[in-house]
A and B are shown apart, each in its own frame.
Chain A
Amino acid sequence: MRPLSTIFWLSMKEVRSFLGDWVLVGLVIYTFSLAIIAQAQSNSQELRNASLGVVDEDGSALSHRIVAAFLPPYFKTPESVAQGDIDRLMNTGRYTFILDIPPHFQRDVAAGRAPVLQVLVDATAMMQAGIGAGYAQQIINTEVSDFVRHARSPGVPADLAARIAFNPNITTAWFTSVMGVITNVTMLGIILAGAAVVREREHGTMDHLLVMPVTPFEIAMAKVLGNAVVLTVAVGLSLSLVVRELLHVPIAGSIPLFMVGVAIYLFFAMSIGIFLATIARTMPQLGLLFMLVAIPLNMLSGANTPLESMPPLLRSVMETSPTTHFVSFAQAILYRGAGLELVWREFVDIAVAGVAFFALGLIRFRRVAVAS
């Protein structure tokens, strides 16, 4: 009873402190609204507005037909380019793709000579290069086949009906907006809790707490709870107002179930924050530690690039990371409509990691809490 009351009142204090710092409040609002909208507008995951140049040395009906088939939103309207400019334009990154249609292309196709059509791809544009090359190949094949079919008509024996589940049009915004919210949870969770501890130590109020009948456990727990409440509310609002209402991203699963997961994950993130705060002596040190921990956790969690593509060793390390579990259950619940029966294991894993870091933080807490 006593610890509960202590934790409750200290948590209230945390919430008040947070609301009193308008810079922090502003940043939290910004990261959960404008920043999410901005991320939703980036098209990093899909082929959108790829820049395309065309060297048409044939000038035939077929070549026009191929060029005309490169359509928005996948490709920008193709622009005509001179043969000699190809290198320069690719060097400066003006075009990601350049199509080179050789002379007598139509004639050779008609004659069945299977002429070569070159597609130059700027392979430094990692995300677009691979997907775009596939699209280009398919567009050209389709157009040429259609053209040829007027002459001969070989039936297509088998068709592949590939459909994309959960996100039929492969809209990046669906992905980046939700992942943006998730990334924020990790960043803010760690920094709010860590900073709250360092700030009390720097202002000397930690001494004060420790001479009162208050245990380090209660102090740490209150930091977690107080800040978790703030962030949970922010996540809920961001998901329902910004992501769902404003960006029209459909959410397949149960938001309450997801919020339970967020709360568990926040316990982990804030335990990390408190643990880091027991290592750092000053706020700038905490900040640098934070960068070294939070950024890898986020970037390698599968919220940016697929986990499948990491080197095996790194991948198996990251698969134990609670952030990876968080991203994984967030995708499962929010996109694929998974229920508790599919995600409870991940909830447990995250909770266990949270308890472990919380305990570590507590062990170090008393030793370093007193400013010397």
Chain B
Amino acid sequence: MEPVVRAEGLRHRYRRRDALAATTLDIPAGRIAGFIGPDGVGKSTLLGLIAGAKRCQTGTLQVLGGSMKSARHRRKVCPRIAFMPQGLGKNLYADLTVRENIDFFARLFGHGRRERSRRIGELLAATGLEAFGDRPAGKLSGGMRQKLGLCCALVHDPELLILDEPTTGVDPLSRRQFWQLIERLRAHRPEMTVLVATAYMEEAERFDWLIAMDAGTVLATGTPAQLKAQTGTDTIEGAFVALLPQSRGQRETLIVPPRRAADHETAIAARGLTRRFGDFTAVDHVSFDIQRGEIFGFVGSNGCGKTTTMKMLTGLLPATAGTATLFGKPIAAGGMRSRMRVGYMSQSFSLYTELTVRQNLDLHARLFHLPAASIAARTEHLVRQFGLEDWCDQLASSLPLGIRQRLSLAVAVVHQPDVLILDEPTSGVDPLARDLFWRLLVDLSRNAGVTIFVSTHFMNEAGRCDRVALMDSGRVLATGKPQELMEARSAQTLDEAFVSYLEQAKGKTPVPTAPALRENAKHSRSTFSLRRAFAYALRESLELLRDPIRLGFALAGTAFLMLIFGFGITTDVDSLSFAVLDRDNSFESRAYLGELRGSTYFIERPPIRDANDLQERLKSGTANVTIEIPPGFGRDMKRGRPVAISAWVDGSMPFRAETIHGYLEAAHRQFLADPAIHGNGQAASPPVVEVSLRFRYNQDFSSVYAMVPAQLALQLALIPAILMALAIVREKELGSIVNLYVTPVTRLEFLLGKQIPYVAVAMTNFAIMYLMALFIFGVPLKGSFSALLTGALVYVLATTAYGRVISAFTRTQIAALFGTAIMTVLPATMFSGMLTPVSSLSGIAAFSGRFFPMTYFLPISLGTFTKGLGFGDLAGHLLVLSLFFPVLTLLSLLLMRPQET
């Protein structure tokens, strides 16, 4: 039989590190092939490459009879491959229900409506999820989420099923059910190949074929029996450790020395500890005592309440009911003394990933106020004790998980605490690293007398604890020494004992039936499928609708900003302050000032005392303009001698200065034309010309008529672009972008599908703002509504596409948001004709303006509102505007990567 995967010299690098050294490998078809090995050795990389999620760099990789380097082949085979990435439910959508999630994937693979509902029914029945069809994926337990992931992967009957650590963090009962399900599936479809990476060595026993990996290389391949025979060991775990190069292997098995039973002081005590979130009870009356120096284990699946309990014990979360004490003292939020005695390692090893190993250690030492002189020595000691010598100057973000875990522990013990609270410190880490880690724990417990409270979902780790508590759904099922618990359920292993306790608690679950998967769906090979684009549009809309905060902002935000700007930005300058230094104080000077005092534009401030005061007034901004009338002004006027009035205008805001200047000139002309001042029979010279100013479109020259249509254009550029950019980068950040890489959906379908809901939101914004213009601002529409509507639609297509282009450059949501805001606000307010006509711009400003869609929509908005225009007059602008969408779409296609690098 032709191998399903054939790799030759396949190599993959991240920045400077080799994630996968040149690998040559054939994987036979029709088997369950398991990838085992430490974390960060290239298992996920290899699976990602096989699934087509990652781009092949060097070497060749044939999957299902073709090269994965060829985009055509990838498109051809992706409907035959299913990929479940690492991290439970990473490719699922937390806001969507179970049914909607499966439906989304079914649409991507081109199933029709009836076919979809049939398959969803079958898959839900097969996985026992029928009762939870309408529950959001985010509210499922780990085991259910993993089953849902499997449903989504199986919805298109793949020939090659790729599961990257599918059972990590799931309780033993669910894990057992999961493998039963896979086995039944394979019984129905023996031709299906399953590739699995796993962290549980005991699971590897049941696979047909194994690939042992270390440090980016394949150590050995073969059936479990072959590997065990080859190394002369009787477990896969043993075989794996034996296969490792001499330098890495620590062959002796870990034996936990018994406790010296002398110490019976209670370190941690919990009594009826309860925590509720709304109507959900995360921890339900949990009680236990932990003695000093004891290793106490908390065992259970993800989401069973382990983390919440631990957070209450650290004082992070207040308990809803019950008490917890640390060395006899109640644990209160904010108590500083107890914090010096506790070291905490949170789930997912939260470290400052932007700092190096040494910087992390140093920072924590400083925060615990270790004496400055001892910090260097302590850091050095920890580096040696935890074997971090080779990683000291690496950023924490670039560390393999196992190293990160050791660093996290090092950071937690930097202040030599009495109690260590470790929340799943070993999840996702390989057996060797786990052993190493446990050696450190045992050393701390037995030699330093540190009390260790550790949670885990690995049963062999639970077996090493002095005592364990088995937890499920917020309750402790049983507490005791591992041996006692096994005896109590007459079980061979702790795992079995736990399963037995779980079954007792939950009642026997009916054995689900395997889905009867039949014919393959017709996969649309066309370059563009409306159905797939629509699947994305539908999903995005559902997510948006379920996030009332985002939706509320999206809808009310524009209205709020429109209100603020519409009223706030006006260019009708009035209430200008002026102050006078009248050195003449004659009839004429008062008449002159009367022109200003009578003006509605000016407000007079107290008179100026002297030249110094005049300077001060301008400096402090208490007068926008100062007028100085020279002595003898009236006398000279009468005699017809030339006199000059001196005015100083505050130039710190040029527009205001220009306007004041204009007002002054007008008042001055009016004064000259006033016959009363030319008392001595000298008639005012008659005007030689009448300049008639006609303000078109806006007779009373009130800025609201220009500003409101401009706001419409501005707001439609801003929020839709930002929402769009966020929507795409969010997928990158959360990891669901992988669905774009491994399903038949194309980049164009993805982009357009995601754009549709935001165009709809933007058009709703348009409707709201249009009504606000009419009824709140009283700006009537004089021109064609249909021209405005068409323009708005073409415009929001362009602005959302603009946000999409920006999203291609950014990796994090925050950068997307910030980038989009800056790239939008500036051209929108400055270069698009809102304040300065485009015809007057030059340089970068003119250039930027030309490539920003608002430049072309503003004339449409202004034209229809104030100029009374229709399609005929605006055709040119509409035409240019309509070019943005295709050009920007093309640009995002070019910028977007079809695979992960």
Contacts and interface: CB of A to CB of B under 8 A. Distances in A.
Contacts of B364: 212
Contacts of A46: 654-655, 658
Interface in B549-563: 549-550, 553-554, 557, 560-561
Shortest 8 CB-CB contacts between residues of A and residues of B: A167-B651, A134-B662, A123-B698, A287-B817, A45-B654, A204-B350, A20-B354, A123-B695
B756 interface: no
Interface residues of B, number: 150
A314 B568 CA distance: 7
Contacts of A90: 696, 867
Contacts of B316: 207, 210-211, 370
13 contacts: A34-B844, A96-B839, A125-B706, A130-B571, A131-B655, A136-B693, A145-B688, A155-B640, A157-B637, A157-B643, A164-B661, A195-B814, A318-B568
Contacts of B719: 288, 291
A126 B277 contact: no
B55 interface: no
Contact of B367 (A10, A161, A291): A10
A339 B554 CA distance: 44
B831 interface: yes
A127 B359 CA distance: 54
A14 to B, nearest CB: 10
Interface in B157-216: none
Interface string B834-847: 01111111111100
A60 B687 CA distance: 20
Contacts of B369: 2, 5-6, 213
Interface in B813-852: 813-815, 817-819, 821-822, 825-826, 829-831, 833, 835-845, 848
A94 B859 CA distance: 11
Given A92-B876, A131-B659, A291 B821 contact: yes
B561 A296 contact: yes
B553 A166 contact: no
A205 B574 contact: no
A129 B701 contact: yes
A124 B866 contact: yes
Nearest to A184: B822
A255 B722 CA distance: 35
Contacts of A112: 686, 688
A299 B346 CA distance: 43
Interface in A296-336: 296, 299-300, 302, 304-306, 308-311, 314, 318, 328, 331-332, 335-336
Contact of B315 (A37, A172, A211, A338): A211
A332 B621 contact: yes
Given A164-B649, A171-B654, A16 B837 contact: no
A211 B344 contact: yes
B772 to A, nearest CB: 16
Interface in A260-308: 281-292, 295-296, 299-300, 302, 304-306, 308
Contacts of A154: 685
A42 B693 contact: no
Interface stretch (A22-30, A223-231, A238-246): A22-30
Nearest to A12: B363
B822 A31 contact: yes
Interface string B857-881: 0010011001101000100100000
A234 interface: no
Contacts of A49: 839-842
Interface in A183-231: 187, 191, 195, 198-199, 203-205, 207-215
Given A165-B651, A213-B339, A292 B354 contact: no
Interface stretch (B82-90, B258-266, B665-673): B665-673
Contacts of B327: none
Contact of A116 (B348, B354, B654, B692): B692
Contacts of B642: 155-159
Contacts of B576: 308
Nearest to A135: B662
A27 B819 contact: yes
B350 A208 contact: yes
A342 B863 CA distance: 46
B621 A39 contact: no
Nearest to A209: B367
A305 B567 CA distance: 12
B689 A205 contact: no
Contacts of B665: 134, 138, 160, 162
A199 B866 CA distance: 46
B440 to A, nearest CB: 19
A328 B621 CA distance: 9
A335 B814 contact: no
